[in-house]
Amino acid sequence: MAIDLVSRRDWHARAPHGDYTQLDSTKGVKVHYTGGRVEPGIVGDHAGCVSLVQSIQGYHMDGNGWIDIGYSFVACPHRKVFEGRGLHHLPAANGAGLNSGHYAVLGLVGNAGLVEPPDGLLNGILDAVDYVRERGRAGKEIKGHRDGYSTDCPGEPLYAWVKRGAPRPGGGGGGPEVPTAPPFPGRLLKYPPVMQGEDVRTWQQQMKVRGWEIDVDGAYGSGSRDVCRRFQRSVDIDDDGVVGPTTWRLAWEAPLP
């Protein structure tokens, strides 16, 4: 098992304010996101990832009054895994009464800016999962923070990935290769009014390929919205009838029923 681990010393972590509670074993891992804006520039600047992790630790210690950063580990887009509280230490991020059940692994994406998790980040989360399974007596579960706790975390894109079984990008999990979605067109497809364009036609054609009854006419009207809602329910995301980045991507990448 390979993991590119950034030790607490290497990211200049502050010393904890107290002693950790021992964590002997867990059912698995809960996946988190930051819940705020993450600057997309960190994808090309690892120093930005270091600064962000430091700021999260500061917020948790100075704002929340916790003894340390709340996460066990933090994965960044460069497939590096920051040591947070680490192995066999109770996290604080899963919610009251839920921390003993799972290690907490944060992916450095948010609800604005960098929202879609890059492959390096997904691989980093899975590297952390493998690490806590091998050395931290973690079980097989991979769940989202919202599983059992009322929160939007880890956001729709990360949670959709978790719900698909957290496949390793590039087919590393040994399963069938997942088709890659074309780039998101940059505008939300919604109704009303009727939206028209080649991006609409592309999405409609893919839905037809998936077996949905839909007119491939390049016009996003009430019929397309209804298909969108039913598709969203089938992949367990919010059924708002709007084709945004997550719905667009899942039209290609979600397993066929």
Residue where a domain terminates, one of 113, 138, 171: 171
Q: What is the pLDDT of residue 124?
A: 96
Question: Which residues constitute the domain of residue 73?
Answer: 5-171
Cis peptide before 257 (omega within 30 of 0): no
Q: Provide the CATH number for the domain around residue 66.
A: 3.40.80.10
DSSP per residue, 110-135: -SEES-SPPHHHHHHHHHHHHHHHHH
User: Is residue 154 located within the same domain as residue 226?
Assistant: no
Question: In terms of domains, do 142 and 205 share one?
Answer: no
In a domain, 96, yes or no: yes
pLDDT given for residue 175 in this prediction = 41
Answer yes or no: do 25 and 99 share one domain.
yes
Cβ-based neighbours of 148, under 8 Å, separated by 6 or more: 95, 98
Shared domain check, 76 and 128: yes
Residue 79 in any domain: the answer is yes
Same domain, 88 and 209: no
Q: State whether 147 and 204 are in the same domain.
A: no
Interior/surface letters 14-30, b for 16+ CB within 10 angstroms, e for the rest? eebeeeeeebeebebbb
Does residue 22 form part of some domain? yes
- Over its length of 257 residues, how does the chain's per-residue pLDDT go in tens digits? 589 999 999 999 999 999 999 999 999 999 999 999 999 999 999 999 999 999 999 999 999 999 999 999 999 999 999 999 999 999 999 999 999 999 999 999 999 999 999 999 999 999 999 999 999 999 999 999 999 899 999 999 999 999 999 999 875 443 444 567 888 888 999 999 999 999 999 999 999 988 899 999 999 999 999 999 999 999 889 999 999 999 998 998 888 76
CATH code of residue 232: 1.10.101.10
pLDDT score, position 257: 66
3-class SS of residue 95: coil
Number of residues that make up the chain = 257
Q: Could you say which DSSP state residue 59 is in?
A: I
pLDDT of residue 171: 55
Closest CA to 75 of 102, 44, 107, 103: 107
Do 202 and 134 share a domain, yes or no? Answer: no
pTM equals 0.68
Rounded CA separation 13/214 (Å):
53
**Assigned token pair, 184:** 């998101």
pLDDT for the residue numbered 142: 95
Number of domains in the chain: 2
Considering the domain architecture, whether residues 16 and 134 belong to the same structural domain is answered as yes
Q: What residue type is 52 in one-letter code?
A: L
Answer yes or no: do 158 and 249 share one domain.
no
Q: Say if residue 147 is in the same domain as residue 226.
A: no
Q: b/e string for 46-80 if b means 16 or more Cβ within 10 A?
A: eebbbebbbebbeebbeeeebbbbbbbbbbbbbbb
79 in the same domain as 117: yes
